């Protein structure tokens, strides 16, 4: 159970680090089973940046981590609705990813009901490419492609990254590094601006797993493929929850319709 202080920190800063008490042997088994599934370029050169999407479909430990009861419970405490995992990403090295808000990739109605959970599968320090994030940035408006004067579509994503870099500078945002210990979890708010810090030592690994979650009683869409007038709705491929997990509630169509009407009248 999270404390009120932890919950308050999440809503103030946009992220929270906590320890779900993972078994070290479970983590080691997960690492061993994921390692052989990375692409051949990484196998030939372990400094090659890569990722393994949705390994939960092949590796049971990845699935178990994505649906870990302590993480699901923490997410529900933070946002007041049952969490629904829909994507995993496993990384053997730092991502070096440019700063962004996840609301450009995934979003929900009502807004704010998406989160990421980054689990350190080894100790993360300033040298092996930790997460970089901007505390408090989740309180800024959600920025769409249209807000930046850009056309929707992933072919324009580099332009989004450039625009976000200027946005961070113009708002005077200050970054912090996610240097956390093996087995700890960093949960971030959907609109927290974050990315991957450079690796100062490229020979180091940075094993981690990210799971993205939506929440119950929402409707889900892809902002990068949406316009100001038309949202690109989606039905995610949900990661199955353990049998004893309370099922998420079905979306209430009337609620969603009211939210959409208010959004387009604004």
Q: How far apart are CA 95 and CA 103, in angstroms?
A: 19
What is the crossing angle of helices 69-79 and 4-13, to 10°? 70
- Can you say how many angstroms the Cα of residue 188 is from the centroid of all Cα atoms in its chain? 7
Nearest CA to 180 out of 69, 22, 37, 60 is that of 22
DSSP H or E segment with residue 9: helix 4-13
Pairing outcome for strands 233-234 and 219-221:
antiparallel
pLDDT value at position 221? 97
> Hey, what domains does the chain have and what are their CATH numbers?
4-265 (2.60.120.620)
pLDDT (tens digit per residue) in 41-77: 999 998 888 999 999 999 999 999 999 999 999 999 9
DSSP H or E segment with residue 42: helix 40-44
Q: How many CB atoms are located within 10 Å of the residue 266 CB?
A: 5
- Pull the structure tokens for residue 255: 């609620």
C-beta separation of 20 from 71 below 8 A: yes
pLDDT value at position 242? 87
CA 162 to each of CA 156, 158, 170, 220: distance values in angstroms, whole numbers, following the listed order: 10, 6, 12, 26
Q: How far apart are CA 128 and CA 132, in angstroms?
A: 12
pLDDT value at position 266? 44
- Where b means 16+ CB within 10 Å and e means fewer, 209-227 reads bbbbbbbbbbbbbbbbebe
Q: How far apart are CA 43 and CA 54, in angstroms?
A: 19
Alpha helix positions (H), 105-252: 157-170
Q: How far apart are CA 112 and CA 35, in angstroms?
A: 33
pLDDT (tens digit per residue) in 204-225: 999 999 999 999 999 999 999 9
pLDDT value at position 246? 61
Strand partners, 211: 88, 117
Residues in the chain with pLDDT < 70? 246-266
- Pull the structure tokens for residue 235: 């039905």
DSSP H or E segment with residue 73: helix 69-79
pLDDT value at position 261? 46
């Amino acid at each position: 159970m999270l404390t009120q202080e932890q919950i308050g920190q999440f809503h103030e800063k946009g992220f929270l680090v906590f320890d779900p008490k993972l078994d070290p042997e479970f983590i080691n088994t997960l690492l061993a089973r994921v390692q052989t599934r990375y692409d051949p370029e990484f196998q030939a050169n372990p400094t090659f940046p890569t990722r393994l999407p949705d390994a939960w479909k092949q590796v049971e430990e990845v699935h178990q981590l994505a649906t870990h009861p302590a993480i699901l419970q923490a997410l529900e405490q933070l946002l007041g609705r049952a969490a629904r995992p829909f994507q995993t990403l496993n990384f053997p090295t730092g991502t070096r990813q440019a700063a962004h808000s996840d609301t450009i990739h995934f979003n929900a109605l009502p807004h704010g009901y998406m989160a990421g959970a980054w689990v350190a599968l080894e100790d993360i320090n300033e040298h092996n490419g930790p997460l970089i994030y901007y505390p408090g940035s989740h309180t800024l408006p959600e920025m769409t492609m249209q807000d930046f004067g850009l056309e929707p579509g992933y072919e324009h994503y580099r332009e989004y990254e450039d625009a976000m870099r200027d946005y961070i500078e113009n708002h005077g945002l200050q970054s912090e590094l996610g240097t956390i210990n093996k087995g700890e979890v960093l949960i971030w708010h959907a609109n927290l601006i974050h990315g991957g810090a450079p690796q100062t030592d490229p020979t180091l690994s940075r094993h981690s797993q990210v799971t993205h979650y939506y929440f119950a009683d929402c409707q889900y869409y892809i902002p990068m493929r949406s316009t100001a007038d038309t949202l690109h709705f989606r039905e995610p491929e949900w990661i199955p929850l353990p049998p004893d997990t309370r099922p998420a509630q079905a979306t209430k169509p009337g609620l969603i319709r009211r939210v959409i009407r208010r959004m387009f009248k604004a």
